[in-house]
A and B are shown apart, each in its own frame.
Chain A
Amino acid sequence: MRVLLLQPPLLPAAEVTPPLGLTTLSSWLRARGHETRILDLDLEVRERDSAAEDRYVPLFERGLADFSPDVCAVTSMYSNSLQAEHLVRAAKRFRPELVTVAGGAHFGALGPASLRRLPELDFAIQGEGEPALSGLLDALANGGDWKSVPSLCHRENGEVVTNTAHAQIDLDTLPPMWSTLGESLDLRRYVATIQPGSPRRLIYIEAGRGCPFACTFCATAPFWKRQFRVKPAQAIVDEMRFLYEEHGYDSFMLVHDLLTVSPKFMAEFCDTMLAAKLPVEWMANSRTDIRLKGLLPKMKASGCWKLFFGIESASERIQKVVDKHLDPKTAETTVAELAEHGISCTCSFVLGQPDERADELSASITLGARLKMLGADIVQFHRLRMWPPAPITTSALPVDFDLDSLRIEYPFIEVPEKHVEAILSDNDFFSGYFVPETIGGTPNQLGQVEMFFHHAVTLAPYTVAGLGQLTHGGLVSAFYDALAVEGPLKREELSWDATGDPSANWRAMRPLFQSLLAHADLTEDARTLARGLFDYEEWRLHFLRGVPAPTPPAAAGGTWSAFLSPLDVPQAIERLRAGEDLTEDLLGERILILAREASGGFASYELDADQLPELQQPDSELVRELSAVN
Chain B
Amino acid sequence: MTEAQINAPVKESRLRALRPRQFQDPLLDAPVKITPTQIFA
What is the interface of chain A, defined by CB distance below 8 A to chain B?
Answer: 11, 13, 199, 204, 253, 255, 285, 308, 346, 348, 373, 375, 377-380, 382, 408-409, 454-455, 457-459, 461-462, 495-502, 505, 540-541, 544-545, 569-570, 573, 577, 592-594, 601-608, 611, 621-622, 625-626, 629
Instruction: Decide yes or no: A308 and B36 within 8 Å by CB, A604-B24, A604-B25, A606-B21 being known contacts.
Output: no
User: Which residue from chain A places its CB closest to the CB of B33 in the assembled complex?
Assistant: A498
Known: A379-B35, A621-B18. 9 other contacts (CB 8 A): A378-B41, A499-B34, A505-B34, A573-B26, A602-B28, A602-B29, A604-B22, A626-B15, A629-B15
- With contacts A380-B35, A498-B35, A545-B32 taken as known, whether A346 is within 8 angstroms of B22 at the C-beta atoms is no
Contact digits for B1-41, partner A, Cβ 8 Å, 1 yes 0 no: 00000000000101100111111111111111111111111
B35 touches A458 (CB 8 A): yes
- What residue in chain B is nearest A253 (Cβ atoms)? B40
Best-buried of B12, B29, B33, B36 by chain A (most CB within 10 Å)? B36
For the complex, give the distance between the alpha carbons of A457 and B35 in Å: 9
Shortest distance in angstroms between A574's beta carbon and chain B's nearest beta carbon?
8
Given A11-B37, A13-B38, A454-B35, A625–B18 Cβ distance below 8 Å? yes
B33: min CB distance to chain A, Å: 5
CB distance from A516 to the nearest CB of B (A): 19
User: Given A380-B35, A605-B15, are A570 and B25 also a contact pair (CB < 8 Å)?
Assistant: yes
Given contacts A285-B40, A629-B12, contact A541 B32 (CB under 8 A): yes
Instruction: Give the distance to chain B from A60, nearest Cβ to Cβ, in Å.
Output: 23
Q: Of B22, B31, B32, B33, which is within 8 A of A605 by CB?
A: B22
B30 to chain A, nearest CB (A): 7
Minimum CB–CB distance from A251 to chain B (whole Å) comes to 12
How distant is the Cα of A418 from the Cα of B19 in the complex, in angstroms? Answer: 65
Judging by beta carbons under 8 Å apart, are B34 and A455 in contact? yes
Chain B residues near A608 (CB, 8 Å)?
A: 19
By a CB distance below 8 angstroms, the chain A residues around B27 are 373, 461-462, 540
Q: Is the CB of A497 within 8 A of B20?
A: no
Contacts of B32 in A (CB 8 A): 459, 502, 541, 544-545
Report the minimum CB–CB distance from B25 to chain A (whole Å).
6
Complex CA gap A626/B25 in Å reads 18
The dominant DSSP class at the A interface is: mixed
Q: Which of B28, B35, B40 contacts A544 (CB 8 A)?
A: B28
A624 (CB) vs chain B CBs: closest residue: B14
Complexed CA–CA distance, A453 and B18 (Å) = 40
Chain A contacts for B33, CB-based, 8 A:
458, 498-499, 502
A328 CA / B12 CA spacing, docked (Å): 42
Whole-angstrom CA separation of A255 from B10 in the bound complex: 46
Kindly list chain B residues whose C-beta atoms are within 8 Å of the C-beta of A454. Answer: 35, 37
Choose among B29, B36, B40 the residue that contacts A498 (Cβ–Cβ < 8 A). B36
Given contact pairs A540-B27, A629-B12, A500 touches B37 in the complex (Cβ within 8 A): no
* Distance between A242 CB and nearest chain B CB, rounded to angstroms: 22
A603 to B23 CA separation, bound complex (whole angstroms): 8
Nearest-neighbor residue (CB-CB) of A501 within chain B: B34
CB-defined contacts of A601 to chain B, threshold 8 Å: 28-29
With A373-B26, A544-B28, A626-B15: A593-B20 Cβ-Cβ less than 8 Å: yes
Using CB atoms, name the residue of chain A closest to B39.
Answer: A348
Give chain B nearest CB distance to A261 CB in angstroms: 16
CA–CA, A408 and B39, complex, Å: 12
B39/A540 in contact, CB under 8 A: no
Q: Assess the B37–A455 pair: CB atoms within 8 A.
A: no
Tell me the bound Cα distance from A606 to B36 in angstroms.
Answer: 33
The docked-state distance in angstroms from the alpha carbon of A212 to that of B26 is 36
A541: chain B residues at CB < 8 Å are 32
**Known: A378-B41, A626-B15. Contact between A603 and B22, CB under 8 A?**
yes
Q: Note all chain B residues with C-beta closer than 8 A to A505.
A: 34
Q: Given A382-B39, A625-B15, A625-B18, is A497 in contact with B34 using a C-beta cutoff of 8 Å?
A: yes
**A78 nearest CB across to chain B (Å):** 12
Bound Cα distance from A497 to B36, whole angstroms: 5
When distances are taken between beta carbons in the complex, the residues of chain A under 8 Å from B24 are 570, 573, 604
Q: A625-B18, A626-B15 are in contact. Are A378 and B36 (CB under 8 A)?
A: yes
Give Cα A601 to B22, complex, Å.
14
Cβ-defined contact, A605 with B35, below 8 A: no
The answer for the CA separation of A232 and B6 in the assembled complex, in Å, is 44
B15:A380 contact, CB within 8 angstroms? no
In the complex, A499 Cα to B35 Cα: how many Å?
9
Specify which chain A residues have a CB less than 8 angstroms from the CB of B19 in the assembled complex: 607-608, 611
Q: Please state if B28 and A594 are interface contacts (CB–CB under 8 Å).
A: yes
Given A461-B27, A604-B23: A625 and B36 interface contact (C-beta under 8 Å): no
Q: Report Cα–Cα, A626/B38, bound state, in Å.
A: 41
Taking a contact as CB atoms closer than 8 A, the residue among A377, A461, A498 that contacts B34 in the complex is: A498
